[in-house]
Amino acid sequence: AGMAGAFLMEIRRGTQSALLVIRYAAAELPSAPVEVSVCADSLEVRSGGSCDAAALPAGVRLAPSSCRGLRRLRGEGLHLRVRLRHSPPAADVLFTLKESLKPNKNYIFYCQSCGDIVVEDRKFLRVLPLPSENWSDLVEEWCCHPNPFARSTLHPQHGDCFVGDTFFLLNSGNESHVPESPKSKENTRVICKRCKTMLGETVSSDIIKYYVTEVIIQPAEGSFSPTPRSQFVQSVVAQCLLELSSNKSTFRFTIKGDNGRTYILIWLLNSDTLLVESLGSSSSHSDFTLFGDILTPSSGPVETWNAVKVLYQPCIQCRNKELADAWENDMGVHPLKFPSETCLELLLMLGLSTASLPPSLRCMNSFQV
Protein backbone atom coordinates (compact mmCIF):
# COMPACT_ATOMS: atom_id res chain seq x y z
CA ALA A 1 0.00 0.00 0.00
CA GLY A 2 3.02 2.28 -0.27
CA MET A 3 3.69 2.11 3.46
CA ALA A 4 7.32 1.32 4.35
CA GLY A 5 6.72 0.81 8.06
CA ALA A 6 10.14 2.37 8.56
CA PHE A 7 10.91 5.00 11.15
CA LEU A 8 13.79 7.09 12.38
CA MET A 9 13.83 8.38 15.93
CA GLU A 10 16.35 10.93 17.19
CA ILE A 11 16.44 10.88 20.99
CA ARG A 12 18.05 13.51 23.18
CA ARG A 13 19.03 12.02 26.52
CA GLY A 14 19.55 15.42 28.15
CA THR A 15 16.02 16.73 27.43
CA GLN A 16 14.31 13.29 27.45
CA SER A 17 12.64 14.12 24.15
CA ALA A 18 12.51 12.52 20.73
CA LEU A 19 11.75 13.44 17.14
CA LEU A 20 9.96 10.60 15.37
CA VAL A 21 9.84 10.36 11.57
CA ILE A 22 7.59 7.65 10.11
CA ARG A 23 8.74 7.24 6.54
CA TYR A 24 6.97 6.14 3.36
CA ALA A 25 8.28 4.05 0.52
CA ALA A 26 6.34 6.21 -1.93
CA ALA A 27 6.47 9.98 -2.23
CA GLU A 28 2.72 10.27 -1.63
CA LEU A 29 0.41 8.98 1.06
CA PRO A 30 -1.36 5.70 0.30
CA SER A 31 -5.00 5.99 -0.79
CA ALA A 32 -6.28 4.28 2.36
CA PRO A 33 -6.32 6.18 5.66
CA VAL A 34 -3.23 5.77 7.83
CA GLU A 35 -3.48 5.04 11.54
CA VAL A 36 -0.40 5.54 13.69
CA SER A 37 -0.32 4.12 17.20
CA VAL A 38 2.41 5.27 19.56
CA CYS A 39 2.74 3.02 22.62
CA ALA A 40 5.23 3.18 25.46
CA ASP A 41 7.39 0.41 24.00
CA SER A 42 6.31 0.08 20.37
CA LEU A 43 5.05 1.81 17.22
CA GLU A 44 2.34 0.58 14.89
CA VAL A 45 1.23 1.82 11.46
CA ARG A 46 -1.99 0.53 9.84
CA SER A 47 -3.08 1.29 6.29
CA GLY A 48 -5.44 -0.49 3.90
CA GLY A 49 -5.57 -3.71 5.89
CA SER A 50 -1.79 -3.95 6.31
CA CYS A 51 -0.03 -3.44 9.61
CA ASP A 52 3.62 -2.70 10.38
CA ALA A 53 4.74 -2.79 14.01
CA ALA A 54 8.15 -2.32 15.62
CA ALA A 55 9.18 -2.81 19.23
CA LEU A 56 11.42 -0.11 20.68
CA PRO A 57 14.83 -1.05 22.07
CA ALA A 58 15.19 -1.85 25.76
CA GLY A 59 15.49 1.29 27.83
CA VAL A 60 13.54 3.47 25.37
CA ARG A 61 10.06 4.15 26.74
CA LEU A 62 7.78 6.83 25.34
CA ALA A 63 5.02 8.87 26.96
CA PRO A 64 2.26 8.54 24.29
CA SER A 65 0.10 11.32 25.76
CA SER A 66 2.93 13.82 25.09
CA CYS A 67 2.81 13.46 21.28
CA ARG A 68 2.60 16.86 19.61
CA GLY A 69 3.51 18.75 16.45
CA LEU A 70 2.22 16.10 14.04
CA ARG A 71 2.79 17.13 10.42
CA ARG A 72 3.26 15.47 7.05
CA LEU A 73 6.13 16.51 4.83
CA ARG A 74 5.93 15.63 1.16
CA GLY A 75 8.36 12.86 0.24
CA GLU A 76 9.34 12.23 3.86
CA GLY A 77 6.35 11.01 5.84
CA LEU A 78 4.99 11.95 9.23
CA HIS A 79 6.95 13.98 11.79
CA LEU A 80 6.02 14.28 15.44
CA ARG A 81 7.66 14.98 18.77
CA VAL A 82 7.23 12.94 21.92
CA ARG A 83 8.56 12.93 25.46
CA LEU A 84 10.34 9.97 27.04
CA ARG A 85 9.09 8.40 30.26
CA HIS A 86 12.69 8.12 31.37
CA SER A 87 16.05 8.65 29.74
CA PRO A 88 17.66 5.62 28.04
CA PRO A 89 20.92 4.31 29.54
CA ALA A 90 23.83 6.67 29.11
CA ALA A 91 26.44 5.93 26.48
CA ASP A 92 29.59 4.12 27.54
CA VAL A 93 32.08 6.23 29.47
CA LEU A 94 34.23 8.16 27.04
CA PHE A 95 37.22 6.05 26.02
CA THR A 96 40.08 8.45 25.41
CA LEU A 97 43.02 7.95 23.11
CA LYS A 98 45.36 8.34 26.07
CA GLU A 99 43.73 5.33 27.76
CA SER A 100 44.38 3.02 24.82
CA LEU A 101 48.05 2.68 25.86
CA LYS A 102 49.41 1.74 29.27
CA PRO A 103 53.05 1.81 30.44
CA ASN A 104 54.94 -1.47 30.78
CA LYS A 105 52.65 -3.40 28.46
CA ASN A 106 53.57 -4.77 25.05
CA TYR A 107 51.64 -3.46 22.04
CA ILE A 108 51.47 -4.06 18.32
CA PHE A 109 50.54 -1.28 15.87
CA TYR A 110 48.58 -2.53 12.83
CA CYS A 111 47.70 -0.73 9.62
CA GLN A 112 43.97 -0.13 9.96
CA SER A 113 43.37 -0.54 6.23
CA CYS A 114 45.02 -3.92 5.60
CA GLY A 115 46.10 -5.30 8.99
CA ASP A 116 49.83 -5.35 8.25
CA ILE A 117 52.06 -5.00 11.34
CA VAL A 118 53.59 -1.51 11.52
CA VAL A 119 55.24 -1.53 14.97
CA GLU A 120 55.86 -4.94 16.47
CA ASP A 121 55.86 -5.85 20.15
CA ARG A 122 56.77 -2.44 21.61
CA LYS A 123 56.76 -1.76 25.37
CA PHE A 124 56.51 1.83 26.55
CA LEU A 125 57.93 2.93 29.89
CA ARG A 126 56.08 6.25 29.69
CA VAL A 127 52.84 7.25 27.95
CA LEU A 128 52.44 11.03 28.21
CA PRO A 129 49.91 13.52 26.79
CA LEU A 130 51.17 16.33 24.60
CA PRO A 131 49.80 19.89 24.76
CA SER A 132 47.72 21.15 21.84
CA GLU A 133 49.58 21.81 18.61
CA ASN A 134 49.13 25.58 19.02
CA TRP A 135 50.45 25.58 22.61
CA SER A 136 53.46 27.74 21.74
CA ASP A 137 51.14 30.45 20.36
CA LEU A 138 49.24 30.46 23.64
CA VAL A 139 52.46 30.76 25.66
CA GLU A 140 53.13 34.10 23.99
CA GLU A 141 49.75 35.31 25.30
CA TRP A 142 50.55 34.15 28.82
CA CYS A 143 54.13 35.42 29.15
CA CYS A 144 55.20 39.05 29.50
CA HIS A 145 58.70 38.13 28.28
CA PRO A 146 59.99 36.16 25.29
CA ASN A 147 58.74 32.59 24.99
CA PRO A 148 61.01 30.52 27.28
CA PHE A 149 60.13 27.33 25.36
CA ALA A 150 60.86 28.67 21.88
CA ARG A 151 63.85 26.36 21.37
CA SER A 152 62.42 23.39 23.24
CA THR A 153 61.22 20.29 21.43
CA LEU A 154 58.98 17.64 22.94
CA HIS A 155 60.51 14.48 21.48
CA PRO A 156 60.05 10.98 22.92
CA GLN A 157 62.96 8.78 23.93
CA HIS A 158 63.02 5.12 22.94
CA GLY A 159 60.74 3.97 25.78
CA ASP A 160 58.28 6.86 25.39
CA CYS A 161 54.98 7.31 23.59
CA PHE A 162 53.62 10.86 23.44
CA VAL A 163 49.91 11.20 22.69
CA GLY A 164 48.58 14.21 20.77
CA ASP A 165 45.04 15.13 19.80
CA THR A 166 45.14 13.04 16.61
CA PHE A 167 48.45 11.18 16.67
CA PHE A 168 50.94 9.06 18.58
CA LEU A 169 54.58 10.24 18.66
CA LEU A 170 57.18 7.46 18.88
CA ASN A 171 60.93 7.11 18.76
CA SER A 172 61.34 5.16 15.53
CA GLY A 173 64.34 3.13 16.73
CA ASN A 174 65.33 0.58 14.10
CA GLU A 175 62.13 0.55 12.06
CA SER A 176 63.08 -0.01 8.44
CA HIS A 177 60.26 1.90 6.73
CA VAL A 178 61.30 5.33 8.06
CA PRO A 179 63.26 7.50 5.58
CA GLU A 180 66.79 8.05 6.88
CA SER A 181 67.23 11.68 5.90
CA PRO A 182 64.03 13.29 4.62
CA LYS A 183 64.67 16.21 2.29
CA SER A 184 61.13 17.07 1.15
CA LYS A 185 57.57 16.88 2.38
CA GLU A 186 56.82 13.92 0.12
CA ASN A 187 59.46 11.59 1.55
CA THR A 188 58.55 12.35 5.14
CA ARG A 189 55.33 10.38 4.65
CA VAL A 190 55.35 6.95 6.33
CA ILE A 191 53.63 4.47 4.05
CA CYS A 192 52.27 0.98 4.77
CA LYS A 193 54.51 -1.50 2.97
CA ARG A 194 51.58 -3.71 1.98
CA CYS A 195 48.70 -1.40 0.93
CA LYS A 196 50.64 1.90 0.46
CA THR A 197 48.28 3.83 2.75
CA MET A 198 49.81 6.84 4.49
CA LEU A 199 50.15 5.99 8.18
CA GLY A 200 52.01 9.04 9.45
CA GLU A 201 55.07 11.17 8.90
CA THR A 202 58.60 11.56 10.19
CA VAL A 203 59.19 14.50 12.50
CA SER A 204 62.98 14.05 12.61
CA SER A 205 65.49 11.35 11.77
CA ASP A 206 64.36 9.21 14.73
CA ILE A 207 60.87 10.52 15.60
CA ILE A 208 57.75 9.29 13.83
CA LYS A 209 54.12 10.39 14.07
CA TYR A 210 51.31 7.85 13.54
CA TYR A 211 47.79 9.22 12.99
CA VAL A 212 45.03 7.70 15.12
CA THR A 213 42.81 7.21 12.06
CA GLU A 214 45.40 5.01 10.33
CA VAL A 215 46.59 2.52 12.97
CA ILE A 216 44.93 0.07 15.34
CA ILE A 217 46.82 -0.57 18.57
CA GLN A 218 46.26 -3.84 20.37
CA PRO A 219 48.03 -5.70 23.21
CA ALA A 220 50.73 -8.05 21.93
CA GLU A 221 48.96 -11.07 23.43
CA GLY A 222 45.78 -10.30 21.45
CA SER A 223 45.00 -10.76 17.77
CA PHE A 224 44.12 -8.27 15.04
CA SER A 225 40.39 -7.80 14.56
CA PRO A 226 39.53 -5.74 11.46
CA THR A 227 36.98 -2.92 11.64
CA PRO A 228 35.18 -1.48 8.60
CA ARG A 229 36.99 1.68 7.53
CA SER A 230 33.97 4.01 7.70
CA GLN A 231 32.97 2.77 11.14
CA PHE A 232 36.54 3.13 12.47
CA VAL A 233 37.11 6.67 11.15
CA GLN A 234 33.72 7.90 12.38
CA SER A 235 34.35 6.40 15.82
CA VAL A 236 37.86 7.84 16.19
CA VAL A 237 36.93 11.33 14.97
CA ALA A 238 33.84 11.41 17.22
CA GLN A 239 36.10 10.36 20.09
CA CYS A 240 38.49 13.25 19.37
CA LEU A 241 35.63 15.77 19.25
CA LEU A 242 34.12 14.52 22.51
CA GLU A 243 37.43 14.45 24.36
CA LEU A 244 38.42 17.97 23.32
CA SER A 245 34.97 19.46 23.95
CA SER A 246 34.94 17.85 27.39
CA ASN A 247 38.47 18.84 28.41
CA LYS A 248 38.77 22.24 26.74
CA SER A 249 35.19 23.43 26.28
CA THR A 250 35.79 23.98 22.58
CA PHE A 251 33.06 23.04 20.12
CA ARG A 252 34.34 24.33 16.77
CA PHE A 253 37.03 22.48 14.84
CA THR A 254 38.90 22.78 11.57
CA ILE A 255 39.81 19.49 9.89
CA LYS A 256 43.17 19.99 8.21
CA GLY A 257 45.20 17.73 5.98
CA ASP A 258 48.90 16.96 6.30
CA ASN A 259 49.36 19.32 3.33
CA GLY A 260 48.18 22.25 5.50
CA ARG A 261 44.85 22.72 3.70
CA THR A 262 41.55 23.07 5.54
CA TYR A 263 39.02 20.49 4.34
CA ILE A 264 36.06 20.76 6.75
CA LEU A 265 34.69 23.10 9.39
CA ILE A 266 32.88 21.19 12.16
CA TRP A 267 30.66 22.56 14.90
CA LEU A 268 29.78 20.02 17.60
CA LEU A 269 26.07 20.37 18.33
CA ASN A 270 25.46 17.63 20.89
CA SER A 271 26.82 14.31 22.06
CA ASP A 272 23.80 12.87 23.92
CA THR A 273 21.94 11.69 20.82
CA LEU A 274 20.63 8.15 20.48
CA LEU A 275 19.43 7.19 16.99
CA VAL A 276 16.84 4.43 16.62
CA GLU A 277 15.99 3.17 13.14
CA SER A 278 13.69 0.51 11.79
CA LEU A 279 13.74 -0.57 8.16
CA GLY A 280 10.22 -1.91 8.27
CA SER A 281 9.14 -4.22 5.44
CA SER A 282 10.30 -1.99 2.59
CA SER A 283 12.41 -3.54 -0.14
CA SER A 284 14.18 -0.26 -0.85
CA HIS A 285 16.44 -0.42 2.21
CA SER A 286 19.00 1.97 0.76
CA ASP A 287 16.51 4.80 1.22
CA PHE A 288 16.53 4.36 4.96
CA THR A 289 19.85 3.05 6.24
CA LEU A 290 22.21 5.43 7.95
CA PHE A 291 25.49 3.52 7.73
CA GLY A 292 25.76 0.89 5.04
CA ASP A 293 28.86 -0.85 6.39
CA ILE A 294 27.43 -1.19 9.91
CA LEU A 295 23.81 -2.16 9.36
CA THR A 296 22.96 -5.37 7.52
CA PRO A 297 19.48 -4.91 6.05
CA SER A 298 16.93 -7.56 6.96
CA SER A 299 13.17 -7.68 7.48
CA GLY A 300 12.08 -5.27 10.18
CA PRO A 301 15.16 -4.86 12.43
CA VAL A 302 15.46 -2.06 14.95
CA GLU A 303 19.00 -0.72 15.26
CA THR A 304 20.41 1.87 17.67
CA TRP A 305 23.51 4.08 17.58
CA ASN A 306 25.04 6.49 20.00
CA ALA A 307 25.71 9.49 17.80
CA VAL A 308 27.58 12.75 17.84
CA LYS A 309 25.57 15.41 16.02
CA VAL A 310 27.63 17.97 14.16
CA LEU A 311 27.14 20.88 11.80
CA TYR A 312 29.73 21.10 9.05
CA GLN A 313 30.87 23.04 6.02
CA PRO A 314 33.08 21.60 3.23
CA CYS A 315 36.07 23.75 2.32
CA ILE A 316 37.35 21.93 -0.77
CA GLN A 317 37.65 23.80 -4.08
CA CYS A 318 37.71 27.16 -2.24
CA ARG A 319 34.20 26.72 -0.82
CA ASN A 320 33.40 28.71 2.34
CA LYS A 321 36.79 30.43 2.16
CA GLU A 322 35.72 33.54 4.09
CA LEU A 323 34.30 31.49 6.94
CA ALA A 324 37.36 29.23 6.97
CA ASP A 325 39.66 32.28 7.19
CA ALA A 326 37.60 33.69 10.06
CA TRP A 327 37.77 30.38 11.95
CA GLU A 328 41.50 30.17 11.27
CA ASN A 329 42.05 33.39 13.21
CA ASP A 330 39.67 32.51 16.04
CA MET A 331 41.35 31.20 19.21
CA GLY A 332 38.13 29.39 20.12
CA VAL A 333 38.48 27.07 17.11
CA HIS A 334 40.61 23.96 17.57
CA PRO A 335 42.55 22.53 14.58
CA LEU A 336 42.63 18.75 14.03
CA LYS A 337 45.15 17.35 11.58
CA PHE A 338 44.75 14.08 9.65
CA PRO A 339 46.18 12.68 6.40
CA SER A 340 44.67 14.52 3.45
CA GLU A 341 43.17 11.31 2.05
CA THR A 342 41.42 10.68 5.37
CA CYS A 343 40.00 14.23 5.37
CA LEU A 344 38.38 13.48 2.00
CA GLU A 345 37.08 10.15 3.33
CA LEU A 346 35.58 11.92 6.33
CA LEU A 347 33.92 14.50 4.10
CA LEU A 348 32.37 11.68 2.06
CA MET A 349 31.11 9.97 5.23
CA LEU A 350 29.56 13.20 6.46
CA GLY A 351 27.87 13.69 3.10
CA LEU A 352 26.44 10.15 3.11
CA SER A 353 25.24 10.60 6.68
CA THR A 354 23.52 13.86 5.73
CA ALA A 355 21.91 12.27 2.66
CA SER A 356 20.49 9.46 4.82
CA LEU A 357 18.43 11.95 6.84
CA PRO A 358 15.01 13.22 5.74
CA PRO A 359 15.58 16.34 3.58
CA SER A 360 14.06 18.69 6.16
CA LEU A 361 16.67 17.61 8.74
CA ARG A 362 19.76 17.96 6.55
CA CYS A 363 20.50 21.65 7.10
CA MET A 364 20.64 24.10 9.98
CA ASN A 365 21.13 27.73 9.02
CA SER A 366 23.93 27.60 6.42
CA PHE A 367 25.48 24.39 7.77
CA GLN A 368 24.85 20.77 6.82
CA VAL A 369 23.88 18.31 9.57
- Shared domain for 124 and 23, answered yes or no, is no
- Shared domain for 352 and 250, answered yes or no, is yes
Residue-level pLDDT at 282: 44
Q: Which helix (H) or strand (E) holds 231?
A: helix 229-248
- Shared domain for 26 and 65, answered yes or no, is yes
Q: Is the pLDDT of residue 69 over 90?
A: yes
CA 359/CA 368 separation, integer angstroms: 11
Mean pLDDT along residues 322-329 = 95
184 is a domain residue = yes
Average pLDDT in the chain:
84
- Shared domain for 77 and 125, answered yes or no, is no
Domain interval for residue 203:
105-219
- Shared domain for 121 and 212, answered yes or no, is yes
The answer to whether 112 and 213 are in contact (CB under 8 A) is yes
Q: What's the pTM?
A: 0.86
The answer to whether 185 and 179 are in contact (CB under 8 A) is no
CA 367/CA 267 separation, integer angstroms: 9
CA distances from 221 to 114, 125, 168, 211 (A): 20, 18, 21, 23
Mean pLDDT along residues 110-125 = 93
331 is a domain residue = yes
The domain boundary, picked from 156, 185, 219, lies at 219
- Shared domain for 234 and 202, answered yes or no, is no
Q: Which of 92, 91, 95, 90 is nearest to 236 (CA)?
A: 95
CA 170/CA 81 separation, integer angstroms: 50
Q: Which of 114, 110, 229, 209 is nearest to 167 (CA)?
A: 209
The domain boundary, picked from 84, 114, 140, lies at 84
CA 269/CA 241 separation, integer angstroms: 11
- Shared domain for 71 and 139, answered yes or no, is no
Mean pLDDT along residues 23-39 = 72
140 is a domain residue = yes
Q: How many domains does the chain have?
A: 3
224 is a domain residue = no
- Shared domain for 257 and 350, answered yes or no, is yes
- DSSP letters spanning 107-124: EEEEETTT--EEEEEEE-
- Shared domain for 111 and 166, answered yes or no, is yes
Tell me the percentage of the chain whose pLDDT exceeds 70.
Answer: 82
CA 190/CA 23 separation, integer angstroms: 47
